[in-house]
Amino acid sequence: MMFHEKCLIITVLIFYPAPSSNNPIPQDMDRLEKLGIHSKMDCILHLPMRYEDETQVMPIIDACPHLSGAVQIEGIIQHSEVQYHPRKQLLVTVSDGTGELNLRFIHFYGSQVKQLAAGKRIRARGEPRGGFLGTEIIHPTYRMVSESTPLPTELTPVYPASEGISQKMLRKQIDAALNEVPLTDTLPESLLKSLKLPAFDRTVRFLHHPAADADVTALSERNHPAWQRIKFDELLAQQLSMRRARLARRQQKAPPFLTIGKHSQQFLDQLPFKLTAAQQKALDEIRHDLRSSYPMQRLLQGDVGSGKTVVCALAALQAIDSGHQAALMAPTEILAEQHYLRLSEWLSPIGIKVVWLNGSMKKKERTPILEAIASGDAGFVIGTHALIQDAVSFSKLGFVIIDEQHRFGVGQRLLLRNKGNTDQIQPHQLMMSATPIPRTLAMTFYADLDVSVIDELPPGRTPVLTRLIDDSRRDEVIARIHAAARQGRQVYWVCPLIEESETLELQNAVETHEQLTGMLTGLTVGLLHGRMKPVEKQSVMSDFQAGKIHVLVATTVIEVGVDVPNASLMIIEHAERFGLSQLHQLRGRVGRGSTASVCLLLYQKPLGQVARRRLGIMRETTDGFRIAQQDLEIRGPGEFLGARQSGLQILRFADLEQDGALIDLAADTAQKLLTGKLPDSGTIINAHLDRWLSNREEFLNV
């Protein structure tokens, strides 16, 4: 392949925990640990975030304010004084014979006043701008020089730093490490040649000390061959770790569910519809895994309304038919109750006892449920975080489902899995996500999982029409609500906050409820938000589902799981404040019946560039996979991963959007190494992981 110069069961990669004993840094440099630097190799892999060109000096007469970017000048200080208007600042005037330029320091030390005295020679770098007294540079980087001080012959690296750690200190430690640590390549020359990648030694020395004539654009955009090598190495280490974790977990034991019994057939017989081809394919993949004697670890992803719950129910029945219990954990009580109501409706008629548990239940309610779970009488247990409490004891838990897996932390998923960990036997696990995972993200941070995708909607689903409406046209929105109500339809009105916020200037749900109650005469307006008591939430949702409430004013507690087919109109207030995935999830609450549905995105001007882009995407498409990809590009992987990144080190160098080809290449190389298709694969794997993870990789089978 040519390079042109121009969290679910997860593996948590902890890149920077305890210090490594491999080439440790000097004791007096322990301040570097806050940067993740624990060894001399860590120093070497602490690469520049940008470069400054200090190899040339520009005559002051040419340093005009209209120039873009920084320039370097050199001259004699003509005048230096501390001024007090409008506030204390140090003004230094420099001349090189072609002109004069002012250096302005708003924050400075007393020692600098003495250092920057008239008659001394200074070399300063910064961005020139127009000032009251002429051209000036505010807070330049500078050094005191003599006429014989040579100019650097290399670009100057600028490293990520923190308080108490100077660039000078970093450069000193990095250069020392480069001179002391063997930079033997972890990859064989034949492999590098086939990949057209430079040697590691040459790569890191170049990145820390690029020549003056190096391609600064390629370095800045990180598409230089040297950066390609670093990013490939990082991706390869991640792929090796994740895939090796998957192989290791296959050595663990789980109960094989060989029976697809009468309950599964009874359930299918009573369904008023047939599974889509995509649902059937996903189900077949899950069923295959459940027959294995090692734990299934699969992610089931599909767009809003694609029918994941039906597939999940059929998978659970395979476990129940094999004599085990199934458990489903959801992030909110509303979503958990929605699952309970739907699954009870489906499974109770065929003899499966379904129970649900939440943290707000009183002891009188909880006791019989806990007894049913402990005795095994409850075949399918549904709940929130309450499922992982000490009081919950399963009789024979064999199948665990985590819905909206990104909303749970690593420890929470681990606790639920351990509820079924008896005699070294672990339950099978299925994660569900209504937020489609972009391909590059799936190949990197989800590389330890098997993934099933439901990429089509059931027949009869009507696409949701999305419209953008300026907040000044609220009267038209109110008229539209009246029209929907006259047709017997119901409406969601979503507000992002329930409290006043001077910063965001958003109307809260309580105020909106009061306003709409006054404006929508003759209609019943309900209110739902996260600070209501669980009983109150359940009552409101029950009334809305029963058609007793015409308009439901709610916060994002309705983002997932809520299913009211009669609701065909959604208004999202201050839509410009929401992320793409959240807007798509909210929009998915309508369009669940046969009636044409509409989502109105109510926004306030002026719109920023990112907000305009998000709203434009929502108007253009209902494709969740396209939306997820756009959301990843806008927000980056850190925010996109959500709670899954608990303990997870986001890639430092590789970019999921730009480096798709490298990801494919790293995945392919990792597979060849792990299957022994390359010579000395074991030695290569150990050396590469030792360099990049320094024996500090940690696997949490969550």
Residue-wise pLDDT for 435-455, tens only, equals 777 777 777 777 778 889 998
Is residue 524 within 8 Å of 550, Cβ to Cβ? yes
Better-scored residue on pLDDT, 18 or 241 = 241
For 262-454, the fitting CATH number among 3.40.50.1220, 3.40.50.300, 3.90.600.10, 3.40.640.10 is: 3.40.50.300
Residues 120, 77: Cα–Cα separation, whole Å: 6
Query: Among 26-40, 126-140, 184-198, 311-325, where is mean pLDDT lowest?
Result: 26-40
Is residue 82 within 8 Å of 113, Cβ to Cβ? yes
The type of residue at 54 is: E
Confidence class of residue 362 from pLDDT cuts 50, 70 and 90? confident
* 71-76 own/partner pairs: CB under 8 Å, 24+ apart: 71/125, 71/126, 71/127, 71/128, 72/123, 72/124, 72/125, 73/101, 73/123, 73/124, 73/125, 74/121, 74/122, 74/123, 74/124, 74/145, 75/101, 75/121, 75/122, 76/119, 76/120, 76/121, 76/122
Residue 544, pLDDT > 50, answer: yes
189 three-state secondary structure? helix
Angle subtended at Cα 60 by Cα 54 and Cα 61, rounded to the nearest 5 degrees:
140
Residues 598, 614: Cα–Cα separation, whole Å: 18
For residues 279-286, average pLDDT:
96
Better-scored residue on pLDDT, 221 or 449 = 221
Distance of CA 419 to the CA centre of its chain: 28
Q: Phi and psi dihedrals of 655, rounded to 5?
A: -115, 120
Both tokens assigned to 86: 């409008």
Residue 671, pLDDT > 70, answer: yes
- What are the extents of the domains in the chain? 56-151, 262-454, 464-621
The type of residue at 406 is: H
The type of residue at 212 is: A
Both tokens assigned to 75: 């001259």
Residue 8, pLDDT > 70, answer: no
Tell me the β-bridge partners of 508: 497
Is residue 538 within 8 Å of 337, Cβ to Cβ? yes
Residues 187, 196: Cα–Cα separation, whole Å: 12
Confidence class of residue 645 from pLDDT cuts 50, 70 and 90? very low
Residues 640, 631: Cα–Cα separation, whole Å: 8
pLDDT of 314: 96
Please write the tens of the pLDDT for every residue from 604-635.
888 888 889 999 999 998 888 788 888 877 77
139 three-state secondary structure? coil
Residue 421, pLDDT > 80, answer: no
Is residue 287 within 8 Å of 253, Cβ to Cβ? no
Confidence class of residue 208 from pLDDT cuts 50, 70 and 90? very high
Confidence class of residue 695 from pLDDT cuts 50, 70 and 90? very low
* Average model confidence (pLDDT) across the chain: 85
Is residue 383 within 8 Å of 356, Cβ to Cβ? yes
Rg, the chain, Cα only: 31
Both tokens assigned to 566: 């009669």
For residues 547-562, average pLDDT:
81
For residues 206-219, average pLDDT:
93
Please write the tens of the pLDDT for every residue from 369-413.
999 999 999 999 999 888 888 888 899 999 999 887 655 554 555
Q: Quick count: other Cβ atoms within 10 Å of Cβ 428? A: 30
Length of the chain, please? 702
Both tokens assigned to 567: 């609701």
Tell me the β-bridge partners of 326: 380, 399
Is residue 402 within 8 Å of 408, Cβ to Cβ? yes
Residue 182, pLDDT > 70, answer: yes
Confidence class of residue 531 from pLDDT cuts 50, 70 and 90? confident
Please write the tens of the pLDDT for every residue from 244-279.
888 888 888 999 999 888 899 999 998 888 899 999
Better-scored residue on pLDDT, 259 or 9 = 259
Cα dist. 465→154, 477, 479, 673 in Å?
Answer: 57, 15, 18, 49
Distance of CA 260 to the CA centre of its chain: 37
Residues 80, 118: Cα–Cα separation, whole Å: 6
pLDDT of 702: 37
Q: Homologous superfamily of 56-151 in CATH?
A: Nucleic acid-binding proteins (2.40.50.140)
Scan for tokens 């109150």, then name that residue. 536
Residues 479, 473: Cα–Cα separation, whole Å: 10
pLDDT of 343: 93
pLDDT of 86: 79
464 contact partners, CB below 8 Å, separation of at least 6: 587, 588, 590, 591, 597, 598, 599, 622
Residues 685, 422: Cα–Cα separation, whole Å: 33
pLDDT of 19: 41
DSSP letter (8 states) at residue 128: -
Domains 262-454 and 464-621 share a fold: yes
Nearest to 76 by CA among 54, 101, 58: 101
Q: Homologous superfamily of 464-621 in CATH?
A: P-loop containing nucleotide triphosphate hydrolases (3.40.50.300)
Please write the tens of the pLDDT for every residue from 455-493.
887 776 777 899 999 989 999 999 999 999 999 999 999
Residue 85, pLDDT > 80, answer: no
Residues 3, 196: Cα–Cα separation, whole Å: 7
- Can you spell out the DSSP letters for 312-370? HHHHHHHHHHTT-EEEEE-SSHHHHHHHHHHHHHHHGGGT--EEEE-TT--HHHHHHHH
The type of residue at 456 is: E
Confidence class of residue 174 from pLDDT cuts 50, 70 and 90? very high
Q: With the C-alpha atoms ordered 251, 253, 259, 261, is the resulting torsion angle positive or negative? A: negative
